[in-house]
Amino acid sequence: MIISASTDYRAAAQRKLPPFLFHYIDGGAYAEYTLRRNVEDLAEIALRQRVLKNMSELSLETRLFDETLSMPVALAPVGLTGMYARRGEVQAAQAAAAKGIPFTLSTVSVCPIEEVAPTLDRPMWFQLYVLKDRGFMKSVLERAKAAGVTTLVFTVDMPTPGARYRDAHSGMSGPNAAARRILQAVTHPAWAWDVGLFGRPHDLGNISTYRGHPTSLSDYIGWLSANFDPSISWKDLEWIREFWQGPMVIKGILDPNDAKDAVKFGADGIVVSNHGGRQLDGVLSSARALPDIADAVKGNLKILADSGIRNGLDVVRMLALGADAVMLGRAFVYALAAAGGAGVSNLLDLIEKEMRVAMILTGAKSISEISADLLVRELPPIQPEPGKKSDQAA
């Protein structure tokens, strides 16, 4: 087991949440091979220890899309965050703002843009999916602009939702899902009280505001499947540019050629991501994909990376592999589910401390000094998972 604060928060989240929600967060696509590799590949990257270099002056500050960040970390867009803690998007966004880092609101958040943005003393980021309903896309971009959103994160690795079999087992979807969810809620009283009762309304806030009527959670899976658009291509992104003059970041890049296309398109940044192993199982971990992408496009746009980051060492590893900044997904969600906004604040403080230790002991005094020189060796060649071969053959 890989020990970190998010291991503890994960265990606490599992105790608190109804299983359908815990497994929705925790799970990935198919056999969850990529999900595991995201975490394990990062943990295998060895850092080069350096000593006696007078590390008394250390700066984690970084500039990204005309913003100053206290450290090169942002919270990733996570759908249904308001189901994991009471009005969870507001709590997580406030913890991020207090730490001096960006929060990214998902298209499929519980709290709408208009509920989250006014509670913050820094601009938030907004994530948009490519959807068949272009009217919704236009209107939500206008709302984001009106709410002072600075950066648009455009997620492109979900032309269709991935197959997540845990959801069918846990009651998120599948036979008798609604009845199973109710049963799970009543047997998890801390959650039922905090979120079930006082965290209402439970709907997709951004979409309900547009449609003028509630989009309930039972509509969620259906709405996603009906609205994702597999016909999307780079050309379709051009009209979005007309609506969005601010920084635009393309999330879900895993191949150097796609990264080059993002440069050609004029993106301000990319997120090297496999959606936390939730889309195509068997693709490369982000840690493996990142160095080739950085070789291809570093300096032409900002490179963010996510998938598998669980602690401050992982942040430093991603930066050493070529990222300018990272996004946290499950790491912050486990903390939020376990302990609300205070949990997210504590996690971010721990990540900062872990980064400081890593920087002091690798001799990097600032974020710009974190480079491939900090790495002892590349990742070893890809191995089949021990014991998995026979599982698959069975």
Interacting residues with ligand FMN (CB under 6 A): 24-25, 38, 76-79, 106, 108, 127, 155, 251, 273, 275-276, 278, 306-309, 328-331
Cβ-proximal residues to 100 (8 Å cutoff; 6+ apart), any chain: 68, 69, 70, 71, 122
- CB of residue 33 vs ligand FMN: minimum separation in angstroms? 14
Q: Is 192 left (phi over 0), alpha (psi -120 to 50) or beta?
A: alpha
| Residue number with CB closer to ligand FMN (108 or 323) | 108
List 23, 169, 188, 275, catalytic entry = 275
Radius of gyration for the alpha carbons in the chain, expressed in angstroms and rounded: 20
User: Which residues belong to the annotated binding site for substrate?
Assistant: 24, 129, 164, 278
- The binding site comprises 24, 77-79, 106, 127, 129, 155, 164, 251, 273, 275, 278, 306-330
Q: Is 275 a known active-site residue?
A: yes
Binding-site residue ranges for glyoxylate: 24, 129, 164, 275, 278
**Choice between 79 and 291, CB closer to ligand FMN:** 79
Min dist CB 247 to ligand FMN, Å, is 16
| Residue number closest to ligand FMN, CB atom | 329
- Residue 282's SS3 state is coil
| Least spacing, CB of residue 390 vs ligand FMN, in Å | 27
Cβ nearer to ligand FMN, comparing 185 with 326:
326
First vs last Cα of the chain: how many Å apart? 26
**Binding residue positions for FMN:** 77-79, 106, 127, 155, 251, 273, 306-330
Give the nearest distance from C-beta 24 to ligand FMN in angstroms: 6
Q: What span, in angstroms and rounded, lies between the C-alpha atoms of 126 and 76?
A: 10
Which one, of 28, 2, 52, lies nearest residue 161 by Cα? 28
Smallest distance from ligand FMN to CB 162, Å: 11
Q: How far apart are CA 63 and CA 301, in angstroms?
A: 13
Query: Coil, helix or strand for 154?
Result: strand
Residue with tokens 């002072």: 148
Nearer to ligand FMN, 82 or 123 (CB): 82
Cα–Cα distance between 250 and 153 in angstroms, integer? Answer: 6
Q: Kindly report the backbone phi and psi dihedral angles of residue 242, in degrees, each rounded to the nearest multiple of 5, phi listed first.
A: -65, -30
Alpha helices in the chain (DSSP H): 5-16, 19-26, 33-44, 88-99, 113-116, 134-146, 165-170, 177-186, 189-191, 205-211, 217-227, 234-243, 256-265, 286-297, 312-321, 330-360, 388-393
Q: Which is nearer to ligand FMN, 78 or 294 (CB)?
A: 78
Which residues carry out catalysis?
A: 275
